[in-house]
Amino acid sequence: MSGVLLRLAGTAAVAAQAVLAPVSAAAVPDPRPSVSAPGAQPAPAAPGAQPSVARLLTDLQRLYRETERATETYNATTEKLERQRAEVARLDEELARARLALRSTRLDAGRLARQQYQSGGGLGPYVRLLLARDPQHALDEGHVIGELARERARTVARLTGAERRQDALARAARKALDTQLGLAARQKRQRDDVRTRLAGVERALAALTADQLAAVARLEEQQVAEAQRELTTAGALPAGDRPAAPAAGAAGAAGAAGAAGAAGAAERAVRYALDQVGKPYRWGAAGPDAYDCSGLTSRAWVRAGVAVPRTSQEQWARLARVPLDRLRPGDLVVYFPEATHVAMYVGDGKVVQAPRPGGKVKVSPLASHPVLGAVRPGTGQLG
């Protein structure tokens, strides 16, 4: 992570007075221990003491972050489950075709077996050839018999191959189904985990007064504004939002066409994302009525004609990286060391994002969370 981004994360930590530190459970209930600090115990609160605004904001940010991490894990499992269901369906169809082919081959084998049984009482072809009055006729007959024998051999080979293929497909289908059932069970556990964490967020918010909520919101705005100023002052944000001019000549003309196509897709993605402003955040949702963070970014680019991974972690892992000072509208800004949040850059130092539970899709300063980096869809994937 660059020095600018480390300082950005540090600014939020100082402003919140020890980011990710737990708050008194009596003040803001937390149903689970902090994932970021396993085994950490809440600091004891003095009798009657009220938690500071910074402590309240810190705890809420931790709860939101843990919930979003759990949501992205759930999304990844859901995507794997969908692919596995498609694989099970494909194998089932292939197994059905293999069984039909095996049935047909068995009918052919039965027919040949009956023919062999019905003609099995006479002399062998070699003896008939020796005793024949017309050797040429016998030779012709022997040729036919040879062809029948070869056809029997081919039928037996087809039957054996069909049986082996059916057995292999049946084993693959059973294994694929077992994998599907395992993913479904994992998805259910992760769904329950998300719901538990969401309940913790709701209890934490319910424990705050209107004045506390307003104070927390003001402090968060101050943190974001300070982090945004630091990025701007350090020159980490792009000076303009127009793509670089392509090279001259034939190669330049091809590059210009490619750049125009990429720019057109990015423009469509940004337009779609901005059209979703005001719609609610909902974990696991990818539109059209609600979104989580990666649901918004992936759906916007899919609507622009470019397939991107579903989760923020996969978007960070598989899409081409781009420096922050080279950002263009449509690029995806990824947040937190675990890549558990993502937003879409729309220009002028701002992003559109589905922020967190209880929020709505909105346009925010780019530095609304600690920045990990940025990626650009439509320019090739890393794997």
Give backbone dihedrals phi and psi of 133, rounded to 5 degrees, phi first.
-75, -30
pTM given for the model: 0.62
Angle, CA 131 vertex, CA 127 and CA 137 arms, to 5°:
95
Residue 67 CB neighbours (<10 A): 23
* H runs (alpha helix) in 119-238: 125-131, 135-206, 210-233
Check residue 243 and give its pLDDT.
43
Check residue 290 and give its pLDDT.
96
Place of tokens 């692919």: 83
**What is the block-wise mean pLDDT of the chain (383 residues), using blocks of 10 residues?**
41 37 36 37 49 81 83 86 88 86 74 62 50 56 59 71 83 88 87 85 86 89 92 83 42 46 88 97 92 96 95 95 95 95 96 93 95 89 51
Q: Which amino acid is at 376?
A: R
Q: Which amino acid is at 41?
A: Q
Residue 5 CB neighbours (<10 A): 20
CA 287/CA 289 separation, integer angstroms: 5
Check residue 57 and give its pLDDT.
80
Distances in Å between the alpha carbon of 189 and those of 70, 276, 339? 11, 30, 22
Bridge partners of 281? 291
Q: Which residues of 68-105 are buried (b: 16+ CB within 10 A; e: fewer)?
A: bbbbbbbbbbbbbbeebeebbeebeeebeebeebbeeb
Check residue 365 and give its pLDDT.
95
Check residue 41 and give its pLDDT.
40
The tokens describing 141, both together, are: 């007959």
Q: Which amino acid is at 70?
A: A
Domains belonging to the chain, first-starting first, are: 1-38+51-236 (no CATH), 260-383 (3.90.1720.10)
Residue 15 CB neighbours (<10 A): 18
On whether the CB atoms of residues 332 and 319 are closer than 8 A, the answer is yes
CA 5/CA 245 separation, integer angstroms: 28
CA 373 from chain centre, in angstroms, equals 18
